[in-house]
Amino acid sequence: MIAKLKGRLDSSGIDHAIIDVGGVGYLVGASSRTLAALGPVGEAVTIHTEMLVAADSIRLVGFARAEERDWYRLLTHVQGVGSRVALAILSALEPLELHRAVAAGDKAMIARANGVGPKLAQRIVNELKDKIGTAPAGGPIGVGVVALPPGDHSADALSALQNLGFKPHEASVAVAAAVDELGDAASLDALVRMALRKAAK
């Protein structure tokens, strides 16, 4: 599983970028928001990724921020929302805007994205409203309702716990407690193990 790429931006297109990592070019699909955040060709970039494995292909989708990747995962679990539609939504709305729209039941806001009609927007609201908690009043909080403290691996630890079945709020509380106990420099493995202990209490 490829969770993150750190290299140089080789080139970019309408819906993708090529990241050069040690001489190997990774083709990464991305939202227009992520592509705009990558900066100019030739510059160093770090991009969070989701690997999509099908019977006849392996693809990478990239995100400038971990919370954008978390929202992609949530959106693609909604019936009728594939990778292309999820990226269109993330191109139209920032994670915080999307969080507020879902929490408030604002299907019109979600329907601003290309390829999203009123029925699909309503389904997204219905299926995700109970999974995300209350809408944050402000600040760069993505899927969870608890702002994570700074740390090299906080966002990846949060994703790991959510992949194990923890709800966003539970996962963010556990990771925040783990970072508080272990410190910002804790390894991802240590952070996940401690967060699991915190979540089990």
> What's the pLDDT at 134?
45
At 76 the three-state DSSP class reads coil
Close Cβ partners of 30 (under 8 Å, ≥ 6 residues apart): 15, 16, 17, 38, 47, 61, 62, 63, 87
Closest CA to 142 of 118, 114, 165, 175: 175
What's the half-sphere exposure (Cβ side, CA atoms, 13 Å) at 89? 34
Residue 161 one-letter amino acid: L
* pLDDT number for residue 7: 94
Q: Are 29 and 22 in contact (CB under 8 A)?
A: no
Mean pLDDT by 10 residues, the chain (201 residues): 89 93 94 89 91 85 88 90 92 87 88 91 89 50 44 70 73 79 80 84 65
Q: What integer pLDDT is reported at residue 133 of this predicted model?
A: 57
- pTM of the prediction? 0.64
pLDDT at 100: 85
What's the rounded Cα separation, in Å, for the pair 182 and 178?
6
Q: What is the reported pLDDT for 88?
A: 93
